[in-house]
Chains A and B, each alone.
Chain A
């Protein structure tokens, strides 16, 4: 059986030998041209003049495009059609593409792109939350509000109340492979695009709209990305569209990749938030009412900001059953890069809000924060959703009953395994003895909802061929960005046919093979595509079984497919021989598969329904040390237990957990985006924007998977694993805060908790 095996990534050997090809590595035809964008140098205003004479005269330049040169749609937005590929005269952020250079080489294009002379009528940019609120600069007509019960009354009646505010920085994806695309014009007016994207179908649509042709004229292929993390859900549209338009104009293949600085200046990042909260609670720390207000900086275009902000609201409860709650969300339009999808998609921001509340309440009551968390956990569901213990099942603030919680028992196991109680005491002893270096420890849970909240996206397709020699061609709508999706789905296919992994040939995602796909996002890749592939494989297998049953005078159910062998009564043959027999018997050995997630319905305006098919759970405990002279700090130890259901591939899933944790910790600690007063991003390269390096992982790092299965009917009872473990990084943030908590005042730490913020908070609360 191939599922549940810890097989390596399907391309591991190609990775380590350098043979794995990414978009920029694909050999291009002779005559390929290269593109670069000329960018706005102001954050807001109107173009009064755009002198491109020096650009056109620069060495190697073949063509220069402005908005006027575009043949059809000038739009690369994934949502509201508010994102022109090239400015039509108004400028909305510093870094916005104004024109595109087409040149003989990448370097010639990049150089020429610096030569444009733009004149602007500058306007004062709207940058901060306060400025946006004052100008009522926002998406949607007003704030969204989701609520449960009467929060005002609960707050009034509560024995204790605290309030506070927290800012959370954004995050640059820093996929190691920058955005890249190649467009190859075809003889018939068709366009083939190779692109580093999580969403080939959207690229297909945007390219077709830009060329003014039906979708069927455009084919998009993606073999792999060098990292995505949400940053290639919509942010690759501009490159693919620009290449396609230039290719159609020149008749030559066109290629574009962003230099790293351009990539960071042009593309969107994680949304930054301010979260205000007011909470009422009892002596035991049981929350009675929570009132959250989210202020979300969305940047200049809508992109995916509405569902991101929605998901933040949907994770404002995290693992806690809140008797009453209200979440108010302001989606603010600012003159900055258009914030976009990033692993967790708003969930992490919402979750930090409630985790901060838990710590604040515990500090107020002088209780162990873990104790307060445990008081508030959702009750555990059983394998069939029946209630364990005496607690009643809880309901989320958006009206969804939580039937599958394992958080209480998972946290109990983690606390025990990590020796939490004894280490908390040791931390206190250390802090009493050491005036400068302070330790902190925190245990935080994760409950993350799985499904796209835009319900219709929860569908997937697959295309499977069995060739007459028994080799299997596997294709589905999911994209490979490093998460191991292709291998996990191939394990499913091999299992359905009872063959070895070597029989299954993984192929590039291709809009011509599986149409109308959703982005590989929302952690849904394995859930959706695994099921679609299972359906396709089973269709073929059933046809084979039927034919072989006829041939060997038995029932189809008596035909078995295991260990690469097919058995029909007394007959036994290889899978290849069986395929050949079926071919000779004129059996179709090709099938599509389709899957749509059942049991979900969601009204995002009312904030009510069942947006998620199920929840993924986990918890982490981190211990840190902080230098109170400088704020320098280290993660000393982290223990994680994460719920991947019955894992399709425990090795790849563990890799997701480890990697997501470090990325999440980076978000909340050293990764700081800094804009200046004119809206220029000052941290636009790895020299100034610091993602974790090797020594930043915890010195002791114990990660294991929860031994359980998904009570919902998912592919082999597994659970989605891409995003949920990102939020284990919250334990680092709150451990840092805990290290500063030796004074009377609650250390109201903001994120990212850079050394500077840690020192400032220490000075304020000590």
Chain B
């Protein structure tokens, strides 16, 4: 392996490492840059946050689940590179001291990097952008005060990283396809291989399960898979489009709000829409709303392409309609009137995996339901449509009485499980209530705790 990137301003070349070496371990063990901390080793706590700049700009990422090859051609800035080279503290560092934003200090480097990245990009929705940085000491209040006060200061020049000169990869340990054609050829030759896009899930296979991934292909150089295109009917997202970009590209308000709570800034900046689908998790949050919208999945194997309704991709738990050597190339999301309702239910509002994710697209013509599409995550072994419920609602008035008569059908659609996130009964009850909530929302009822103010 040989890759080149910039580290706190200086170009570095890394060789003699395995492609599953994480940036965090490399920073701490090889470079002695111990400011970046390991808090959870799974991308949930943000103590390892680094700023990575690529051609699309600077973004916060979790170094603990970032494999070294993903950095090729990019620029990394760690907490050690946030203060100016002459030692002058960055505005967010100054404000964190002033507002007593650190106590034990262990999460602080991650916060500092997230805050400095936000400061550079002008993000001011701090509760959202810092949801992926956990602090156990301060209760966050002083950190948010610091972030707010730092907004006014100019971002120091040294934070604007330039990318290193592109180096030729003469690498044999892993593939770095530049196009989906190259990826298709690789996948055909390596049907047992692992495709790594953002590594927000694959990373854990390594850090938690010690998995041997076999041949690996990294997607971040695959330009066509990162494209977003738009026609009159649909928006098509390449499989390697990040969740952050997906969130910005899809014009559905509640979908955007759901994605705001999906993972964290660091996760959304790495995770891809293709990964969230291909992974096949029953609790992935993007499939239910995309199914409700009637999305189409584009699969490719060698030169053979096929499309299918997204819901048909999910066959059963951990089993998808994907042949060896086949991969998700894109997903097309229809452009429709924004009647999409998305309800993400979790123990914690932000950065939590859903117990239930409900998505409802219920067209109503003259008070009558016509062609409802209702999908749930967390209710079965796959993301799944509530076909019986849709059938029971079809042609019926969109009223609470009619809905209550139709709702028993949902129990024919789903037999949810109990686990550490929720009981089966709670999942079923809340799924039913999500359908009620969609109707009440149409009636103008105030239904979001997030919108209530003291």
Contacts and interface: CB of A to CB of B under 8 A. Distances in A.
Interface of A: 8-9, 11-22, 24-25, 27, 107, 110-111, 114, 173-178, 224-229, 259-261, 423, 434-437, 439, 481-484, 623, 625-627, 629-634, 636-637, 651-652, 654-655, 658-663, 670, 672, 674, 682-683, 685-688, 690-697, 699-701, 703, 754-756, 759-760, 763
B239 interface: no
Contact of B37 (A27, A177, A700): A177
A9 B421 contact: no
A627 B433 CA distance: 11
Contacts of A662: 138-141
A626 B349 CA distance: 13
A634 B452 CA distance: 9
Interface in B411-454: 419-423, 426, 429-430, 433-434, 436-437, 440, 445-450, 452-454
Contacts of B78: 18
Identify the interface centre among B92, B423, B449: most chain A CB within 10 Å of its CB.
Answer: B449
Contact of A672 (B143, B144, B347): B347
A371 B109 CA distance: 46
Contacts of A227: 103-104, 106, 136-137
Contacts of B454: 423, 623, 636-637, 699-700
Contact of B97 (A12, A482, A627): A12
Contact of B139 (A107, A174, A659): A659
A756 B422 contact: yes
Given A17-B89, A176-B136, A686-B134, A636 B452 contact: yes
Given A176-B45, A672-B347, A697 B141 contact: yes
B426 A694 contact: no
A683 B141 CA distance: 27
B446 A434 contact: yes
Interface stretch (B122-130, B240-248, B270-278, B378-386): B122-130
A315 to B, nearest CB: 22
Nearest to A689: B420
A688 B353 CA distance: 8
B362 interface: no
A20 B346 CA distance: 35
A16 B97 contact: yes
A703 B100 CA distance: 14
B375 interface: no
B34 interface: yes
A637 B453 CA distance: 9
Contacts of A654: 100
A483 B98 CA distance: 16
B184 to A, nearest CB: 33
A224 B447 contact: no
A12 B130 CA distance: 20
Interface residues of B, number: 90
A442 B106 CA distance: 33
A691 B351 CA distance: 11
Closest 10 CB pairs of A and B: A18-B35, A482-B104, A226-B106, A15-B105, A662-B139, A18-B79, A482-B103, A686-B44, A636-B454, A637-B454
A5 to B, nearest CB: 13
B102 A690 contact: no
A24 B136 contact: no
Contact of B426 (A11, A19, A756): A756
Given A16-B89, A687-B44, A658 B349 contact: no
Nearest to B432: A629
A759 B429 contact: yes
Identify the interface centre among B47, B131, B347, B352: most chain A CB within 10 Å of its CB.
Answer: B347
Identify the interface centre among B112, B126, B208, B452: most chain A CB within 10 Å of its CB.
Answer: B452
Given A226-B106, A634-B450, A659 B34 contact: no
Interface string B136-157: 1111111110000000000000
Given A176-B37, A696-B348, A437 B447 contact: yes
Contacts of B171: none
A217 to B, nearest CB: 30
B42 interface: yes
B151 to A, nearest CB: 16
9 contacts: A15-B109, A25-B34, A176-B47, A228-B104, A436-B437, A627-B447, A636-B452, A658-B139, A693-B131
B107 interface: yes
Contacts of A674: 420
Contact of A437 (B134, B208, B430, B449): B449
Contacts of B109: 15-16, 18
Contacts of B135: 176, 694
B136 A175 contact: yes
A630 B420 contact: no
B103 A484 contact: yes
Nearest to B43: A687
B136 to A, nearest CB: 5
Contact of A755 (B97, B140, B345): B345
A655 B38 CA distance: 24
A19 B107 CA distance: 13
Contacts of B47: 176
A259 B204 CA distance: 12
A107 B29 CA distance: 12
A176 B39 contact: yes
A205 to B, nearest CB: 25
Interface of B: 25, 28, 32-42, 44-45, 47, 78-80, 82-83, 89, 92-93, 96-98, 100-109, 112, 126-128, 130-131, 133-144, 208, 210, 343, 345-353, 355, 419-423, 426, 429-430, 433-434, 436-437, 440, 445-450, 452-454
A692 B348 contact: yes
A694 B34 contact: no
A655 B105 CA distance: 13
Contact of B100 (A13, A24, A652, A672): A652
A629 B430 contact: yes
A110 B141 CA distance: 37
B42 A225 contact: no
A657 B187 CA distance: 55
A176 B127 contact: no
Contacts of A173: 136
A16 B102 CA distance: 8
Contacts of A691: 134, 136
Contacts of A107: 25
Contacts of B450: 634
Contact of B112 (A18, A260, A625, A660): A18
A630 B434 CA distance: 8
Contact of B103 (A9, A17, A19): A9
Contacts of A25: 28, 34
B123 to A, nearest CB: 13
Contacts of A19: 35, 80
A279 B97 CA distance: 49
Contacts of B106: 22, 175-177, 226-227, 482
Contact of A261 (B130, B208, B346): B208
B259 to A, nearest CB: 15
Given A655-B137, A688-B353, 17 more contacts: A12-B100, A16-B112, A22-B106, A27-B32, A176-B136, A226-B105, A436-B446, A437-B449, A482-B102, A660-B139, A674-B420, A688-B420, A690-B348, A694-B131, A694-B140, A755-B347, A763-B429
Given A17-B89, A175-B136, A632 B142 contact: no
Identify the interface centre among B42, B101, B139, B450: most chain A CB within 10 Å of its CB.
Answer: B139
B138 A685 contact: no
A634 B449 contact: yes
B21 to A, nearest CB: 10
Nearest to B147: A694
B80 A17 contact: yes
Contacts of A12: 96-97, 100, 102, 105
Given A16-B102, A20-B105, A174-B136, A693 B141 contact: no
B439 to A, nearest CB: 11
A521 to B, nearest CB: 15
